[in-house]
Structure 1
Amino acid sequence: MAAGSTSAALLAIITNPAQAAAVPEDTEELKHHLKEGKGFVNPWDSYIERGGWEIGRKMAWRYLSGKANKPDTTPPTVPVHKPKFLPSRDTTALRATWLGHACFYVEFPGGFRVLFDPVFTQRCSPLSWLGPSRYTEMPCQIDEIPFIDAVVISHNHYDHLSHPTIMKIKELYPNVHFFVPLRNKEWFTKCGIHNVTELDWWESRDMKLSAQGINTDSGKASISKSGSVDSVNTSRAGSEDIHAVFGCLPCQHTSARTGFDKSHTLWASWSVESGGKKVWFGGDTGYRSVPELDKGVDDYDPKFRFPHCPAFKQIGQLRGPFDLGLIPIGAYDPRYIMSPMHANPYDSVNIFMDTRCKQALGIHWGTWVLTEEEVLEPPQILKKALAWKGISEEGVFDVCDIGESREYAEPATP
């Protein structure tokens, strides 16, 4: 199927939800907004602020002192397969395809299609010739994805927001709608993209895709110079509208595109509901801040009482349960440096339980070397963390190969 057919096919209408979603009692206090109005903060005891330069110095010293581990990326590592996307919108099950790192493509029952944190470049960097390079191949190109109705961005770090990728999506899918956290819209506008909705934590929007008044018999999409739809093949039985609800939700992280704009824009997790199924996308997040401990010491030992982020339990109580969680499990070592903003698998399982996800897949691993853990360690530790919590059923919180799709018709036993 030609790329862009979906974008032209259905007209998107963004509105406030007909019924207000539940929010915490203190939401209006906007504790995550800096008082001078110049950015955002993680408003919990579970977060310890460390500047980008401080983190860089600590990591550099580890390498210079010989303490750092250099992960082995020699193949084979994570298997990569060519994705098999559904050729039409006629979908009865929730279907999720991992495209590497935090990028997932989700096909909802009823036809809605969402792409999360797409990065289709060799490096996650502002430079094409410097920065972390993929040790696993991209499973496909953007133009091989048949339908993209919405793109969800968790925050503006380069491994989650890629300028070349966004511009390619704009070219191929001119009517796609972007959902971004607060103060990220300006970046898109400067890129010439105006189909953008930015939201603060706990805000929601309805999105309706309507084929009303569109010629659905045409075999080819046609877009006028003004951007309006002339004719289109919807590749979808019937002409009913498709509805989705997007919720911008908290997570514990930061943002930056340079060394001088840390936390100027908001970071977020997201919920998306369509076709009777609901997905929670964790994006990139920490759970608790752990100090430097002796090697081999378990920071979950009961003798330690490190605060954990309360937002995830609020998400579960107020917006859950979720049919599927896409939860980060990688980029966590060294723990004392990374824990405020990156979850390790033990944190991930706690997040899974707090958010009341019925099933989950691990994200944020298997693509770039960003930290010091071995590249195949996250799924190995995830199994231990699940056993630690007494979760023994297969497929409840799992990982998959890059390019692999998983279907969720009925929830597994949690």
Structure 2
Amino acid sequence: MSSASTSAALYATVVSAAQLTGAVPEDVQDKAHHAKAGKGFVNPWESWRNMTVFEILRTMTWRRISGNANTPDTTPPTVPVRKPSFLPSRETPQLRSTWLGHACYYVEFPGGLRVLFDPVFEPRCSPFSFMGPKRFTDPPCPIEDIPAIDLVVISHAHYDHLSYPTVMKIKELHPNAHFFAPLGNKKWFVDSGIHNAIELDWWEAKDVHLSKVDTKEGHQSGGAEVVEAGTRPAAENISATIECLPCQHTAARSLFDKNHTLWSSWSITSGGKKVWFAGDTGYRAVPDLPRGEDDYGAKYAELPRCPAFKQIGDLRGPFDLGLIPIGAYEPRSVMSPMHANPFDSVNIFLDTKCKQALSMHWGTWVLTEEDVLEPARLLKKALSGSGIPEEGVFDVCDIGESREFA
């Protein structure tokens, strides 16, 4: 038996009933992000600007025809890729995070919890294996190399964040792993034959408890059950709280199901450490500006900023580590409502009260027009402009690299 499947079989998972925990925004019961007419969800803030898929395609096509589009050069070398080194056991003295490309992070918590965020290991982020954005950096390892996966956390249903082949491989290797996703996504998992899937709305949380399984004489029991909030299993070894939180984005699996499912960021607390995974998000809706004009200049200082991040910081912060997107932002007039650029990312970092952060959502697929190494360069500029050291606080790392946080 592989090390991955052995680790999965040694732990059974107990999950509490969903609940609102701690302080929440005053208007949380209004559920303003639920579409009032018809099915689905909305971004309920002035910082959002809606564009249909066809409007986006028309704009991007015209930019290419008119010669205004930039075609990023993916000729190597681009982002360094190294083979990851995972811990050999669940003994983890410090919080440890490994970037596996794009928005995928593997986080090893003190106390033993192992969480995989937005895993996509395929060559293309597309419903098709033969077309769509193709990786310009390889995955740093196969899924089989990951020794233990207790929770898989999905931010939303876009193909660069939710992959059917990857999810099915995880199910095969780690049958006791639980999948967490925003509201409306459980059906996708059930239709895929996965019943260890839990969906949550914004500001809802669950307590998770992993207990060692009896393996006497080679017998492996296990599985999962849902218990009432506040109860505890008899033999508790690893505990965590996972909470679904807001972000500003969209979701779809086709041209005809936009926003039928919710998008979210996530907070996970375990082993005395708290991690915030931003998922995929925008911060401000920036208008079409002349080339080179600073959308953070005085002229645009009053552009609305998404208030959700300050709420997260005030009500759930501080976080020991934030995993925050910095890429897929050009052209700003199209992408800014849904994708943060590094200047947005630094503001999100400050709003959410993260003590330290690592960057993501770049360096893997060409999804937009900025040069592939530009996000890392601009992040340093954005940090410096905010009076934050360029290194050691909000960092860029190599794909496959692990960082530890005391």
TM-score normalised over the length of structure 1: 0.93
SS of equivalent to 1:314? helix
Q: Structure 2 CA distance, aligned partners of 1:307 and 1:363? A: 24
Contact 1:21/1:204 (8 A) holds in 2: no
Listed as ranges, the matches of 1:8-407 within 5 Å are: 8-16=9-17, 20-211=21-212, 214-215=214-215, 222=220, 241-304=237-300, 305-392=302-389, 394-407=391-404
Contact map agreement 1:6 1:149 (CA 8 A) in 2 = no
Residues 79-104 of structure 1: CA distance to partner in whole angstroms, max 9, x if unpaired?
00000000100011000000000000
Partner SS state of residue 4, structure 1: helix
Equivalent AA in structure 2 for residue 254 of structure 1: T
Indicate the SS of the match to 2:298. coil
- Over 3 Å counting, the alpha-carbon distance change for 1:2 and 1:23 in structure 2 is same
How many matched pairs?
395
RMSD of equivalent CA atoms: 1.7
SS at match of 2:4: coil
Task: For structure 2, list consecutive stretches of 5 or more residues without a partner in the other structure.
Answer: 225-234
Displacement of 1:394 in angstroms is 2.4
Alignment match, 1:234: none
Worse-matched range after superposition: 391-400 or 367-376:
391-400
Q: Distance in 2 between matches of 1:98 and 1:46?
A: 29
8 Å CA contact 2:24–2:315 kept in 1: the answer is: yes
Between the aligned partners of 2:7 and 2:155, the Cα distance in structure 1 is: 23
SS in 2 for 1:171: helix
Take 2:19 and 2:250, find their aligned partners in 1: how far apart are those partners?
Answer: 32
Structure 2 Cα separation of the partners of residues 148 and 60 of structure 1: 41
Please give the alpha-carbon distance, in whole angstroms, between the structure 1 residues aligned to 2:253 and 2:117: 19
Tell me, yes or no, if the aligned pair for 1:3 and 1:146 is still in contact at 8 Å: yes
Q: Which runs of 5+ in 1 are unaligned?
A: 229-238, 410-414
Instruction: Give the stretch that moved more between structures: 241-250 or 391-400.
Output: 391-400
Aligned to 1:233: none
Q: Partners of 1:49 and 1:327 in 2: how far apart?
A: 22
1:232 corresponding residue in structure 2: none
For 2:33 and 2:121, the matched residues in 1 are separated by: 31
Inter-partner Cα distance in structure 2 for 1:143 and 1:223: 22
Other structure's SS at 1:155 match: coil
Amino-acid identity (%): 66
Q: Is the 2:380–2:390 contact (alpha carbons within 8 Å) kept by the matching residues of 1?
A: no
Q: What is the rounded CA distance, in whole Å, between the counterparts of 1:33 and 1:252 in structure 2?
A: 13
Superposition deviation, residue 17 in structure 1: 7.5
Distance 1:37 1:276 in 2: 42
